[in-house]
Amino acid sequence: MVKKQKVIKIKNTNKKFKSLKKLFSKKKFLKSTKDVGKIISVKDGVAKVSGLFKVLSGEMVHLGALKIKGMVLSLQYTTVSVVIFGNDTLLKQGDLVYRTFLIMNIPLSIKLFGRVIDALGNIIDAGSKVVTKLSRKVDTKAVGIIPRQSVREPMQTGVNAIDAITPIGCGQRELIIGDRQTGKTTIAIDTILSQKQSGYLYCIYVAIGQKKNQLSLK
């Protein structure tokens, strides 16, 4: 014998839905619950954070009570990795991490030429601060090969031996290879100085892995 299943009919569903909606409308919920995470661990300038479920890759975040800046790089299933732009010894396990909803960007101005700035665009030389309303994302997509202009204008390095043997054009990538203390950086700096005297290019020197005492901050 197969027993018949009872069919339960729900009456006045519309009235019940309205009553539940009215009940929950009076409750207050935290709007930033999904915008705050916690630090699980800090190691080698990288913080492992949980709880930031909707964070974007490359987004800027604030870590700890001191609001140290950081950038999200690695997105995993339940955690994210954040590069810390500051003193990581001031952070500990359990500190809160806040989203800013901004992709990592730095200030942009023609006045930045001739100045020394850090990775966040902050002035670190002895000069005055540069105030600008413009900014640009740190990680941007490069222009495609086809839309680019062809290499058609020469660029002089100022070093006669290089200019006589190796033709270099504006917009061309050129790799300087050599052993330590053979003058690779000297060639790049001489080229920048040559452009200041007789050239027309804007030159940017990026010091990767260099100490502050090795840079000219005057």
Q: Return the residue matching tokens 């800027």.
A: 60
pLDDT in single tens digits along all 218 residues of the chain? 555 555 445 555 666 667 766 766 666 555 545 589 999 999 989 999 998 988 999 999 999 999 999 999 989 988 999 999 988 899 999 999 999 999 998 888 888 888 888 888 888 888 888 888 898 888 888 888 888 888 888 888 888 999 899 888 888 888 999 998 898 988 988 888 888 777 778 888 888 877 777 776 65
Q: Is residue 14 part of a domain?
A: no
Q: Show the domain range for 111.
A: 105-140
Domain count along the chain: 3
Going through the chain in order, the beta strands assigned E by DSSP cover 36-43, 46-50, 59-63, 68-75, 79-84, 96-103, 105-107, 135-137
pLDDT of residue 67: 92
Say if CB 58 and CB 103 are below 8 A apart. yes
At residue 64, the pLDDT reads 92
Please check whether residues 42 and 87 belong to one and the same domain: yes
Which residue, of 140, 166, 186, is where some domain finishes? 140
Last residue of a domain, one of 140, 166, 193: 140
Three-point CA angle 140, 116, 126, nearest 5°:
145
Q: Show the DSSP H helices in the chain as ranges.
A: 13-25, 160-165, 184-198
Residue 26 domain-assigned (yes or no): no
In a 3-state reduction of DSSP, which class is residue 214?
helix
How many CB atoms within 10 Å of residue 189?
13
Helix, strand, or coil (residue 197): helix
Share of the chain residues as helix, strand and coil, in percent rounded to the nearest 5: 20, 25, 55
**The CA-based dihedral angle spanning residues 145, 146, 151, 157, taken in that order and rounded to the nearest 10 degrees:** -20
Considering the domain architecture, whether residues 96 and 121 belong to the same structural domain is answered as no
Looking at 103, 129, 161, the residue that finishes a domain is 103
Contact 129, 123 (CB under 8 A): yes
Specify if 22 maps to a domain. no
Structure tokens at 105: 């960007």
Using CA atoms, how far apart are residues 107 and 190, in angstroms rounded to an integer?
28
Token pair 């409308």 is found at 25
User: Are the beta carbons of 97 and 39 closer than 8 angstroms?
Assistant: yes
